[in-house]
Amino acid sequence: MNIAPLSLAACLAASTVCAEEVSIALDWTLNTNHIGLVVAQQKEFYAQEGLEVEILPYSDTASTALLAAGAVDFAYMTALGFMSAKASEAPITALWVTMQKEAGRLVYNSGNDRISRPADLEGKTYAGFGSAWEDALISTMIENDGGIADYDTVTLGTGAYEALASGAVDFTLEVATWEGVNSTLIGREQSHFVYADYGVPEAQGGYIGTQTAMLENDPDTVAAFMQATRRGYEWAAANPLEAAEILIKAGDFPNEQLVRGSMRLIADGGYLTDGNTPVGLIDEVRLTTMAQFLFNSGVLRGADGQPLAWPGDLSGWFDQSWMTDR
């Protein structure tokens, strides 16, 4: 994925105007959530803005942590990762959000006749991923359906999906546009509950942010990067199948049909545009509603492990002035 930039000496010797080097860290292994970044790189939208962009692969260090430490210029962040960091006063600012609709859902085997509603999850076994967010989400769904949030949890990470398929566990959480597509491709018969139907706020997902200092000190670079990124996502939204092929060529995907199916679902489901919503637009009301849910649920905690206090105004958590400044 990385393109080796020309050295300054080589630029001067060739009388070439060198592109400015910037980096972005990913929140997970390369997937269709990152489609606009790859399209912008491969179709030279970044180069047209005078940028040489290094898309850094996922590592054991969270992208939010890398950004807060100043190790990268930009980061692609999960909603929970961004809100957790910002609630702890990390010096970062969101510039963009990718998914205009919640792609997560609670999933169970269709043949499990003991489950027909979230209240039925009481006493069942959940295959989880180790975050406090999961319990807040599942408990809210069960309780809003009239049940008692008393269930067993085994932390399996990505092994959750095989465990569910085998019947070793009763339910898990998945991303419809990735794991959900994969389950369909391999013929798993599964059903699901939508979070927002049972009291969990409808969230946007996939934030891109930068250090607040960079936004203040180098707004032109931020605007250039984000304008090109927006072009990438807009092009992908308008040309989903072609965008899938670009991503496949740029990455290493054992199952290319998963990439194609994911992009088809993202396009058909309106995940990038959500009707009249411009690509990348952060909805302050939805951001605030989800953040307040996380605060009230005790999910957002400080370094001492204690729940953080609700700050009230979150308008300073994001800045999209780059959309109109140029």
Query: Residue 14 has what pLDDT?
Result: 44
**Inter-CA distances, 262 with 31, 35, 120, 269, Å:** 9, 11, 30, 10
- pLDDT lower than 50: segments of the chain: 1-10, 12-15
DSSP state for residue 176 in the 8-state scheme:
I
Convert the pLDDT of each residue in 232-241 to its tens digit. 999 999 999 9
Query: Residue 96 has what pLDDT?
Result: 98
**Inter-CA distances, 97 with 9, 284, 285, 292, Å:** 37, 11, 13, 18
* Dihedral angle, C-alpha 261, 271, 81, 255, nearest 10 °: 10
Query: Residue 278 has what pLDDT?
Result: 87
- Here the tokens at position 295 are 């605060």
127 forms beta bridges with: 154
Are 224 and 51 in contact by the 8 Å Cβ rule? The answer is: yes
Distance separating alpha carbons of residues 275 and 270, to the nearest angstrom? 7
Convert the pLDDT of each residue in 38-74 to its tens digit. 999 999 999 999 999 999 999 889 999 999 999 999 9
DSSP state for residue 243 in the 8-state scheme:
H
Query: Residue 325 has what pLDDT?
Result: 55
Q: Is 209 helix (H, G, I), strand (E, B) or coil?
A: strand
Please give the model's pTM, rounded to 2 decimal places.
0.92
Query: Residue 195 has what pLDDT?
Result: 98
Are 136 and 162 in contact by the 8 Å Cβ rule? The answer is: no
Query: Residue 326 has what pLDDT?
Result: 52
Sheet holding 205-211, edge to edge: 51-56, 20-25, 74-77, 205-211, 92-99
Query: Residue 277 has what pLDDT?
Result: 79
Distance separating alpha carbons of residues 142 and 145, to the nearest angstrom? 5
- Rg of the chain in Å (alpha carbons): 21
DSSP state for residue 324 in the 8-state scheme:
T
